[in-house]
Amino acid sequence: MKIPEILMVETVHQPGSLARVLQVIADAGLVIEHLSAVRREQGRTLWEITLEMDEQADQSLYARIDELPTAKFLGHSDRVFNRHRGGKIQMQATLPINTLQVLRDVYTPGVARVCLAIKNDPQCALEYTNLGNTVAIITNGTAILGLGDIGPLAGLPVMEGKSALFASLVDLSGIPILMTEKDPDRIVELVMGIEQSFGAIQLEDFAAPHCFVIEEKLRERLQKPVLHDDQHGTAVVALAALLNAARRVGRSLHSSVVGQIGLGAAGLGIVRLLRAHGVQRVLGADRNPTAFERLATLGGIASTVEGIMAEADIVIATTGVRGLIKPESVRPGQIILALSNPDPEIEPIVALERGAAFAADGKGINNVLGFPGLFRGAMNARAPRFTDQMLMAAARAIAARAPGHDLVPDPLDREVHAAVTEAVYEAAIATAF
């Protein structure tokens, strides 16, 4: 697995000293992700250099840097862990409780009047509580990132990250809910037991095939938005990227042959949305033969990795298997999205070197572009469920905001999320539920 390795290196403040350090890194075959000067004093500069390295990478790199006459390796930064220390989210009051009058209004005795109003008209909860801004982010930890079944507690940093993104990008409160249960029917009942606390439900990192059953049953029983982000959030952003890629190479997405390698939650979600969008021929490959049954119900055609690489104009991979796509199998002009995190099936730069027209990985084609605006728009419209029209509207809004030759826009641009919110809202309002 590739991890961000953050080196702390001190150099003498003279021409060429930093360049020598960077040359040692280049000689090791590593790419610098980020470089910043932390401080400069007494003729020396402290640099923070972020690399992507394999966990088993040759640690002699540190010694080679330290051997330079104008540099000193000081160690590793714990920046990643430091940013997680104490958690990434917290609950805050929306108004200051600084007088007895305010206390009596927001708590006892004043709050009783609001409780009775909600008892008489449950819709009042959307106006007088935070219900309409609150999303449950629920996981049982069976499919965390590309790490697999590591358990719900180990997945909590991911859930907190989702919550932090909801808050910073669209002003929603995401509440992580961890479940140790693995039986899909029991999970559904547990969610039904707590659903009144939330305006919407985001299912996160549930493994296939249980994820399909859980979402389907909750959508049937609940009159509020339910979304399994690994399926539909990923599919929305993948569709957005393909809309731009196909347009820029002058190709019709509808008539292109699309190959989906990996038919888990993300893969089948992508197949489903592409078919709904009108893509006529979608091939699918997976090492689990039972996945082909669900592929067939979506109108996809069973194939193999080799068959897809030989026939498909567009290749999407969501397998979690690093290096699965061999460079020699890439055909000139193909569009390749290798979306597994943290390591893609093929590095984009390698695919481009082999002649791919466009290539991207999961760092760029990331569902953070989709899920915040999807939920904000659906909840603003008080939609009882997500529809394909809402998902496709989100994809078009994302695609329209991509600058230049980029396939997708900056995921931290709040204007992008506002555009997605508005598109989803309008699609929801136009839908006759």
Helix (H, G, I), strand (E, B) or coil at 248: helix
Question: How many other β-carbons are positioned within 10 Å of the β-carbon of residue 208?
Answer: 25
Which of 107, 119, 128, 363 is catalytic? The answer is 107
Helix (H, G, I), strand (E, B) or coil at 281: strand
Cα gap 394→381, rounded to integer Å? 14
Kindly give, in sequence order, each residue whose CB lies less than 8 Å from that of residue 226, ignoring residues fewer than 6 positions away.
200, 201, 203, 215, 218, 219, 385, 386
Cα gap 240→257, rounded to integer Å? 17
Active site residue 128: no
Identity of the amino acid at 318:
T
Helix (H, G, I), strand (E, B) or coil at 84: helix
The C-alpha R_g of the chain, in whole angstroms, comes to 24
Which of 62, 128, 162, 182 is catalytic? The answer is 162
66 — phi, psi (to 5°)?
-65, -25
Active site residue 162: yes
Q: Quick one: which of 239, 166, 235, 168 has its CA closest to 400?
A: 239
413 — phi, psi (to 5°)?
-80, 110
Cβ-contact 200, 135 below 8 angstroms: yes
Question: How many other β-carbons are positioned within 10 Å of the β-carbon of residue 20?
Answer: 14
Residues forming the active site: 107, 162
